[in-house]
């Protein structure tokens, strides 16, 4: 019976926690304290929710972008200089543990010509079947493949003949002559939405004729992006000097750096909201200390040490930060889930490479957001609580 | 349990702008264990300052305070707070009960600070509240109590840990004479029953007369008030 009654005072809780909890509850009674507490909690909640939603949207976009760009990037690329036999290197690579497949390719610049029209294109010579990076092609046999949008604007179809010219001329006694091949269009493919330049796929032998001796690339299928590094390490051990081995991560290093930078800058910018809310928390804690000044003085006379009084307001601030952070977490996670699931934020597909804003929540992002928000709030609460510890009972009790 | 109090050459001054106000100029005082002493004096004579120094709430410019043989000037921070918690009970003119705690919880506060077992503490708090006739009001918040009731709760709070020394600063100063007398009756009754040493600062002659010894603070010095 006796202990049950004590439960209202916080059974087993230390003195500082009991007082902090009561002061947190008391914010309901004092309208000004309530207002400031709401501002501090609300600010933190908005800050945390904004950080979660923004980073989730950014992560969603970045994942989609990475997915598309990586679909055109080999898992491991081995560049073979012109003085080496790429076919031999490819055979050597195929024998390495973890390699599921190899494809030789070559890349250079050129033009496509048809009925007096000309356009600059990226020439990609490939060995064997058309690579998967050329999406939605009706057939994958050797031949020339054009992007759908180029074919549509020029009125070309499969079977039409086009001329392909290289930017490498052949030197003849009559002067430099362009290297031109006339070939039928084998099929059309759908270009990725982030592709800025038209790519033209053609058989490796034709590419060799047009581009001459060039650094050839052997694209390696390592069975997944995460296995690429392991396979690349093995390849580097067995391949001769002069041959360069790079993983998809190294090939797109600039992109990944830019994406990381973008995310970091956005995180710092949005953390300012949390910073402002944390300052509101300082104001709130200060106000409560001012309002409870005489009570704090009395607690001092009763034997509460300065460190105990500091703990009271540290816990008070931590309580507000936890409530604000918790509300922000719930808002951010549920918001991101709903926005992603029901695709509520639509985008004009002609402008963007996606038709909606995707939201991807990463646990690590949420952990960092909570850590920074609560850390900042607690640091501010420590600062504010120092004022309670600095009060002497005599000063506090003076009317 | 009670303790004696010994004060030697106590001095305290305040800066008031460019002016230095010497409040205590060398106060000597000895209170024997279990004694009830009243200190009287005009407003601004330094009665409260002396009580604050006795209660370790402030530090003197010179002189020493010993409570139960402990020189309190040697204590600082948490050790001083712990000493205050277990040795001294305070009753002020303004009760300063914590608004968010019920009467019972307010009485229990010193024990919570001292981390006493809750069950034992609550039992003791209820006993004290019963002694001052507050059993039925124990679950009320200070805002629901009258001035006299609040002061009775403050008295219970001061005595919950059976401190050997009770310091009261105008304990009835904020109450009407009838209620004030009743509260002081309770204070005397509890002090005598528990054998606590008590120092009461007051400007009420009736209350001062009810103490075993009367001291008067004038011009920064303490005199025998019966002379």
Q: Does B135 touch chain A (CB under 8 A)?
A: no
Query: How many structural domains does chain A have?
Result: 2
A to B CB pairs, distance under 8 Å: 96
Residue A201 Rama label (left phi>0; alpha psi -120 to 50; beta): beta
Nearest by CB: A307 against B78, B90, B122? B78
pLDDT at residue A3, as a whole number = 35
Q: Report the share of chain A in percent with pLDDT over 90.
A: 57
Nearest by CB: B52 against A23, A394, A399? A394
pLDDT at residue B11, as a whole number = 94
Asked which of A277-291, A294-308, B53-67 is least confident by mean pLDDT, the reply is A277-291
Q: What is the pLDDT along chain B (227 residues), one digit of tens a residue?
A: 678 899 999 999 988 888 888 999 999 999 999 999 999 988 888 998 999 999 999 999 999 999 998 999 999 888 999 999 999 999 988 878 999 899 999 999 999 999 999 999 999 999 999 988 899 999 999 999 999 899 999 999 999 999 999 999 988 887 888 888 888 998 898 899 888 999 999 988 888 988 989 999 988 899 886 64
Residue B197 Rama label (left phi>0; alpha psi -120 to 50; beta): beta
Nearest by CB: A305 against B77, B98, B110? B77
User: Would you say A104 and A127 are in contact if contact means Cβ atoms under 8 Å apart?
Assistant: yes
Say whether both A215 and A154 belong to one domain.
yes
> At A11, is the pLDDT very low, low, confident or very high (cuts 50, 70, 90)?
low
pLDDT at residue A399, as a whole number = 64
- Residues A15-37: what's their mean pLDDT? 82
Q: A366: helix, coil or strand?
A: helix
DSSP summary character for residue B95: -
> At A2, is the pLDDT very low, low, confident or very high (cuts 50, 70, 90)?
very low
Angle formed by the axes of helices A253-291 and A293-301, to 10°?
80
Say whether both A202 and A328 belong to one domain.
no
> At A316, is the pLDDT very low, low, confident or very high (cuts 50, 70, 90)?
very high
Q: Say if the Cβ atoms of A6 and B118 lie within 8 Å.
A: yes
Is the predicted pLDDT of residue A26 greater than 80, yes or no? no
Say whether both A81 and A216 belong to one domain.
yes
Please name which of A98, A360, A364 lies closest in space to residue A227, comparing C-alpha atoms.
A98
Q: A112: helix, coil or strand?
A: strand
Say whether both A225 and A88 belong to one domain.
yes
Residue A9 neighbours by CB under 8 Å, 6+ apart? A18, B101, B105, B108, B112, B118
Q: What is the mean pLDDT of chain A?
A: 88
- Residues A279-303: what's their mean pLDDT? 90
- Residues A294-302: what's their mean pLDDT? 92
Say whether both A93 and A178 belong to one domain.
yes
Q: Does A233 touch chain B (CB under 8 A)?
A: no
Q: Does A3 touch chain B (CB under 8 A)?
A: yes
Residues comprising chain B, all counted: 227
Please state the ipTM of this predicted complex: 0.90
pLDDT at residue A9, as a whole number = 43
Say whether both A180 and A299 belong to one domain.
no
Q: In what order do the strands lie in the sheet with B62-67?
A: B19-31, B5-16, B62-67, B70-71
Probe site for chain B from A302, A319, A399 (most B CB atoms < 10 A): A302
Backbone angles phi, psi at B66, to 5 degrees: -120, 130
Q: Does B85 touch chain A (CB under 8 A)?
A: yes
Last residue of a domain, one of A223, A249, A275: A249
What whole-number distance in Å separates Cα of residue B74 and Cα of residue B59? 11
> What residues of chain B, 140 to 199, have a C-beta less than 8 Å from chain A?
157
Q: Does A299 touch chain B (CB under 8 A)?
A: yes
Using a CB-CB distance cutoff of 8 angstroms, which residues of chain B are in contact with residue A25? 100
* DSSP E strand boundaries for A57-198: 76-80, 101-114, 117-126, 144-147, 161-166, 170-172, 175-177, 180-189
What whole-number distance in Å separates Cα of residue A360 and Cα of residue A59? 6
Residues A360-363: contacts with CB under 8 Å, at least 24 apart: A360/A56, A360/A59, A360/A60, A360/A63, A361/A52, A361/A56, A361/A59, A361/A333, A361/A336, A361/A337, A362/A55, A362/A56, A362/A59
Angle formed by the axes of helices B103-113 and B147-159, to 10°?
20
Place of tokens 């202990």: A3
- Residues A237-247: what's their mean pLDDT? 90
Last residue of a domain, one of A249, A278, A306: A249
User: Would you say A58 and A263 are in contact if contact means Cβ atoms under 8 Å apart?
Assistant: yes
Say whether both A193 and A318 belong to one domain.
no
Residue A25 neighbours by CB under 8 Å, 6+ apart? B100
Domain that holds residue A377: 12-67+256-397
User: Would you say A274 and A47 are in contact if contact means Cβ atoms under 8 Å apart?
Assistant: yes
pLDDT at residue A28, as a whole number = 60
Say whether both A16 and A121 belong to one domain.
no
What whole-number distance in Å separates Cα of residue A307 and Cα of residue A385? 9
Is the predicted pLDDT of residue A10 greater than 60, yes or no? no
First to last CA, chain A: 40
Q: Distance from A21 to chain B by nearest Cα, in Å?
A: 10
- Residues A49-64: what's their mean pLDDT? 94
pLDDT at residue A1, as a whole number = 34
Taking CA atoms, A255 is separated from A58, A116, A180, A261, in Å, by 14, 37, 34, 10
Other C-beta atoms closer than 10 Å to the C-beta of A396 total: 22
* DSSP E strand boundaries for chain A: 76-80, 101-114, 117-126, 144-147, 161-166, 170-172, 175-177, 180-189, 199-203, 216-221, 244-247
Asked if residue A245 belongs to a domain, the reply is: yes
Q: Say if the Cβ atoms of A14 and B115 lie within 8 Å.
A: yes
- Residues A196-205: what's their mean pLDDT? 90
Angle formed by the axes of helices A31-71 and A306-341, to 10°?
50
pLDDT at residue A5, as a whole number = 37
Please name which of B116, A17, B53 lies closest in space to residue A9, comparing C-alpha atoms.
A17
Say whether both A58 and A84 belong to one domain.
no
* Host H or E run for residue B90: strand B88-91
Residue A276: Cβ-neighbour burial (10 angstroms; 0-12, 13-18, 19+): middle
Using a CB-CB distance cutoff of 8 angstroms, which residues of chain B are in contact with residue A308? 81, 113
Asked if residue A226 belongs to a domain, the reply is: yes
Please name which of B220, B223, B224, B202 lies closest in space to residue B12, comparing C-alpha atoms.
B220
Asked if residue A6 belongs to a domain, the reply is: no
pLDDT at residue A77, as a whole number = 94
Asked if residue A2 belongs to a domain, the reply is: no
pLDDT at residue A8, as a whole number = 41
Say whether both A244 and A263 belong to one domain.
no
Is the predicted pLDDT of residue A371 greater than 90, yes or no? yes
Q: Distance from A306 to chain B by nearest Cα, in Å?
A: 7
- A94-149: per-residue pLDDT in tens? 999 999 999 999 999 999 999 999 999 999 999 888 888 888 888 888 899 999 99
Residue of B nearest to A9 (CA): B105
Residue B67 neighbours by CB under 8 Å, 6+ apart? B3, B4, B5, B54, B56, B87, B88, B165
pLDDT at residue B87, as a whole number = 94
Asked if residue A7 belongs to a domain, the reply is: no
Q: A120: helix, coil or strand?
A: strand
User: Would you say B19 and B182 are in contact if contact means Cβ atoms under 8 Å apart?
Assistant: no
What are B141's two structure tokens? 């918040």
What whole-number distance in Å separates Cα of residue B222 and Cα of residue B216? 6
Q: B213: helix, coil or strand?
A: strand
Using a CB-CB distance cutoff of 8 angstroms, which residues of chain A are in contact with residue B104? 5
Pick one of 3.40.50.1970, 3.30.70.560, 3.40.50.300, 3.40.50.11890 as the CATH number of B5-224.
3.40.50.300
Using a CB-CB distance cutoff of 8 angstroms, which residues of chain A are in contact with residue B126? 2
> At A27, is the pLDDT very low, low, confident or very high (cuts 50, 70, 90)?
low
Q: Say if the Cβ atoms of B94 and A307 lie within 8 Å.
A: no
**Cα of A128 vs its chain's centroid, Å:** 35
Q: Say if the Cβ atoms of A22 and B57 lie within 8 Å.
A: no
> At A181, is the pLDDT very low, low, confident or very high (cuts 50, 70, 90)?
very high
Q: What angle do CA A249, A212, A203 make, to 5 degrees?
A: 70
Using a CB-CB distance cutoff of 8 angstroms, which residues of chain A are in contact with residue B157? 302
Q: Where are the domains of chain B?
A: 5-224
Last residue of a domain, one of A225, A249, A273: A249
What whole-number distance in Å separates Cα of residue A331 and Cα of residue A327? 6
Using a CB-CB distance cutoff of 8 angstroms, which residues of chain B are in contact with residue A299? 98, 109, 113
Q: Say if the Cβ atoms of A301 and B118 lie within 8 Å.
A: no
pLDDT at residue A229, as a whole number = 92
Q: Does A28 touch chain B (CB under 8 A)?
A: no
Asked if residue A4 belongs to a domain, the reply is: no
Asked if residue A387 belongs to a domain, the reply is: yes
Say whether both A235 and A305 belong to one domain.
no
Q: Distance from A378 to chain B by nearest Cα, in Å?
A: 23
**Cα of A171 vs its chain's centroid, Å:** 49
Say whether both A24 and A80 belong to one domain.
no
Q: Does A174 touch chain B (CB under 8 A)?
A: no
3-state secondary structure B103-171: HHHHHHHHHHHCCCCHHHHHHHHHHHHHHCCCHHHCCCCHHHCCHHHHHHHHHHHHHCCCCCEEEEECC
Using a CB-CB distance cutoff of 8 angstroms, which residues of chain B are in contact with residue A21? none
What whole-number distance in Å separates Cα of residue B212 and Cα of residue A255? 89
Nearest by CB: A304 against B55, B81, B108? B81
> At A7, is the pLDDT very low, low, confident or very high (cuts 50, 70, 90)?
very low
């Amino acid at each position: 019976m006796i202990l049950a009654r004590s439960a209202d005072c916080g059974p087993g809780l230390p003195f500082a926690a009991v007082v902090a909890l009561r002061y947190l509850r008391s914010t309901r009674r004092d309208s000004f304290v309530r207002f400031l507490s709401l501002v501090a909690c609300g600010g933190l909640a908005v800050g945390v929710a904004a950080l979660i939603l923004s980073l989730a949207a950014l992560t969603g976009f970045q994942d989609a972008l990475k997915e598309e760009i990586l679909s055109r990037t080999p898992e491991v690329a081995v560049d073979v200089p012109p003085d080496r036999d790429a076919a031999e290197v490819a055979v050597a690579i195929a024998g390495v543990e973890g390699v599921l497949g190899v494809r030789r390719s070559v890349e250079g610049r050129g033009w496509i010509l048809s009925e007096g029209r000309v356009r600059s294109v990226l020439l990609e010579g490939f060995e064997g079947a058309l690579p998967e990076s050329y999406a939605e092609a009706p057939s994958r046999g050797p031949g020339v493949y054009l992007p759908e949008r180029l074919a549509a604007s020029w009125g070309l179809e499969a079977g039409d003949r086009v001329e392909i010219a290289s930017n490498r001329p052949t030197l003849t006694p009559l002067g430099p002559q362009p290297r031109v091949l006339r070939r039928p269009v084998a099929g059309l493919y759908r270009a990725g939405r982030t592709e800025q330049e038209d790519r033209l796929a053609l058989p490796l032998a034709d590419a060799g004729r047009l581009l001459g001796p060039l650094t050839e690339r052997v694209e390696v299928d390592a069975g997944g992006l995460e296995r690429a590094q392991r396979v690349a390490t093995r390849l580097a051990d067995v391949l001769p000097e002069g041959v360069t081995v790079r993983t998809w991560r190294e090939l797109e290093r600039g992109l990944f750096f830019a994406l990381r930078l973008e995310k970091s800058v956005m995180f710092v910018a949005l953390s300012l909201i949390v910073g402002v809310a944390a300052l509101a928390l300082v104001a709130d804690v200060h106000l409560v200390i001012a309002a409870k000044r005489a009570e704090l003085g009395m607690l001092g006379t009763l034997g509460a040490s300065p460190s105990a009084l500091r703990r009271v307001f540290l816990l008070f601030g931590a309580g507000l930060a936890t409530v604000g952070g918790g509300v922000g977490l719930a808002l951010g996670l549920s918001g991101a889930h709903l926005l992603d699931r029901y695709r509520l934020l639509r985008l004009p597909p002609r402008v963007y490479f996606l038709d909606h804003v995707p939201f991807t929540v990463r646990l690590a992002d949420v952990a960092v957001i909570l850590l920074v928000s609560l850390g900042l709030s607690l640091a501010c609460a420590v600062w504010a609580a120092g004022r309670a510890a600095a009060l002497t009972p005599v000063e506090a009790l003076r009317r | 349990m009670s303790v004696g109090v010994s004060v030697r050459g106590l001095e305290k001054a305040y800066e008031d702008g460019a002016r230095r106000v010497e409040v205590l100029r060398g106060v000597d005082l000895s209170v024997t264990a279990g004694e009830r002493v009243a200190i009287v004096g005009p407003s601004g004579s330094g009665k409260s300052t002396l009580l604050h120094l006795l209660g370790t709430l402030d530090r003197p410019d010179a002189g020493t305070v010993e409570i139960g043989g402990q020189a309190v000037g040697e204590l600082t921070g948490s050790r001083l707070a712990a000493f205050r918690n277990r040795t001294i009970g305070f009753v002020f003119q303004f009760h300063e009960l914590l608004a968010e705690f019920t009467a019972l919880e307010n009485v229990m506060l010193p024990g919570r600070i001292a981390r006493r077992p809750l069950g034992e503490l609550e039992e003791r708090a209820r006993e004290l509240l019963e002694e001052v006739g507050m059993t039925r009001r124990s679950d009320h918040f200070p805002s629901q109590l009258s001035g006299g009731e609040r002061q009775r709760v403050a008295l219970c709070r001061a005595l919950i840990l059976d401190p050997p020394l009770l310091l009261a600063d105008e304990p009835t100063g904020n109450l009407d004479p009838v209620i004030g007398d009743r509260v002081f009756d309770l204070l005397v009754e509890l002090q005598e029953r528990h054998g606590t040493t008590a120092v009461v600062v007051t400007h009420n002659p009736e209350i001062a007369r009810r103490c075993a010894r009367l001291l008067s603070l004038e011009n920064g010095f303490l005199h025998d008030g019966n002379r």
